[in-house]
A and B are shown apart, each in its own frame.
Chain A
Amino acid sequence: MNDRGRKKGFGGGPAGAGRKVTEVEIGLLTTLSVPARGSVGKTGSWRTFVPVIDPGRCTKCLLCWVYCPEACVSRDLIIDLDYCKGCGICAEECPRDAIAMVKEEKR
């Protein structure tokens, strides 16, 4: 059985993934989902190249923050490597070439 959604990231709700629940507990069940970071797990594992910021060149223009499709660059320019998919837009768009995409050693 495909157990992807249960193992990675978000589990089977507050009751926990594996525990069986009775019909009385469930009642109405429809496709309602709740917000979560990592809704498909740690998407950082998708990455081949990792962005590395050179603080010496960075002018804090925030373009990398604005362009990141994943909201993985904070306003203090810290990259959330748990979720960064390594798309490379930040490096491509940095007007000062202050971000390099570096081949990542597999963790």
Chain B
Amino acid sequence: MRIKDFPEEELLLPGNAACQGCPSSMALRLALKALGRNTLLAVIASCTSVLQSPFPATAFDLPVLNMAFATGGATGSGLAAAVERLMKKGVYRERPTVLVWAGDGGTYDIGIQSLSGAAERNADFIYVCYNNEAYSNTGTQRSGATPYAAWTTNTVKGKREWRKDVAQIMVAHGIPYVATASLAYPTDLFEKFTRAKGIRGTRYIEILAPCPPGWKFPSGHTVKVARLAVQTGLWLLYEHREGITTYTAGTQRIIHGKARRLPVEEYLKAQGRFRHLFYPERDEERIAEIQRRVDRVFETLEFTHRLKQHIMDIEMLPPR
């Protein structure tokens, strides 16, 4: 898929209430280009509840159901069950895609029970977590997705805990499709949504969504920061299907040795929320701890990759 081949139709209209450089708008625009007009969208309480604009106008050119904070999985289940009925009755000629759109607060914290229940039932919908790593809609408070050492309004010296990894929790549910995506890799993101659309059952896609006001960087840097997260190894791009994880795009290039992994500092320095790690003086300990964690992850990933290559080389040798 090339960018030139992305559909022209816009399902999120301009002139809406989103902030300048909003990652959720960008993610929605790309996701909806991949899924198309035949989609039922459920928006779970988050910035997206607001950016679509107030009554009686909406920026969505789609049928949209706004729902309460803890309801993502259940809303998807209800819509999927109704779609099943309406398909049986012939109300729809073509099965619409059910898309649930939630933030990290609605996914990692208040909504994880509902999401887990729906995944266990393998309800037929795509769940998207656009992860801006904080409660941005209420003015940036810590969430279960906020990374170690990040400033938020209730972790003013930096978060003490490490983030959890809901994508891996979803992998553990054994659902048919789990993927992570980045705004800096639009074709990768587009292809993941296209693949998800072709699968039935619960599909989970998590998009890292750098938030200019929440992460404190200029609005023009949304994509740049998203790219640095992948280039430094702090955000992994992969998809998981039928028990196999495949790393993609920038992450794959690092693992395959085709791109150099950048030091985490470059990512941290690009955002004001990590400023206290550098000013008034460098916090060597915390920077090194973050770097060590990423290094350990990539040691394993690179080793596994080399091992696989080695085995494949042996298999390709002519028999003796």
Contacts and interface: CB of A to CB of B under 8 A. Distances in A.
A–B contact via C-beta, under 8 angstroms: yes
Given A87-B220, A88-B219, A71 B13 contact: yes
Contact of B14 (A38, A65, A67): A38
Interface string B1-35: 00110101010111111101111011001100000
Interface stretch (B51-59, B84-92, B161-169): B51-59
A35 B13 contact: yes
A55 B202 CA distance: 45
Interface string A50-79: 000000000001110111111110010000
A35 B53 CA distance: 10
Nearest to B54: A5
Contacts of A28: none
A13 B56 CA distance: 8
Contacts of B52: 33, 39
A26 interface: no
B60 interface: yes
Contacts of A68: 26
Contacts of B25: 69-70
B289 to A, nearest CB: 30
A33 B56 CA distance: 4
Interface residues of B, number: 40
B221 interface: yes
Nearest to A62: B3
Contact of B220 (A41, A46, A70, A89): A89
| Interface range for A | 35 or more
Q: Is the interface of A mostly helix, strand, loop or mixed?
A: loop
Contacts of A89: 21, 26, 219-223
Contacts of B285: none
Given A62-B3, A67-B26, A36 B219 contact: no
Contact of B56 (A12, A40, A70, A87): A12
A67 B220 CA distance: 10
B68 to A, nearest CB: 13
Nearest to B25: A69
A37 B57 CA distance: 9
Contacts of B6: 66
B14 A34 contact: no
B14 A70 contact: yes
B313 interface: no
Contacts of A92: 220-221, 223-224
B218 interface: yes
A35 B186 contact: no
Contacts of A80: 14
Given A66-B6, A92-B221, A39 B58 contact: yes
Contacts of A9: 15, 57
A10 B220 contact: no
A69 B29 contact: yes
A69 B21 contact: yes
B10 A71 contact: yes
A31 B220 contact: no
A33 B57 contact: yes
A12 B261 CA distance: 54
B224 A39 contact: no
B14 A91 contact: no
29 contacts: A5-B54, A9-B57, A33-B57, A34-B57, A35-B57, A35-B58, A35-B59, A36-B59, A39-B58, A39-B59, A40-B53, A62-B4, A65-B3, A66-B30, A68-B26, A69-B21, A69-B222, A71-B10, A72-B14, A83-B15, A84-B14, A87-B20, A87-B212, A87-B219, A87-B222, A88-B20, A89-B223, A92-B224, A93-B224
Given A40-B16, A71-B12, 8 more contacts: A34-B56, A35-B60, A36-B13, A37-B15, A69-B29, A70-B14, A89-B220, A93-B223
By Cβ-Cβ distance, the 9 closest A-B pairs, closest first, are A88-B220, A39-B53, A38-B15, A10-B57, A83-B14, A87-B21, A69-B25, A39-B57, A87-B20
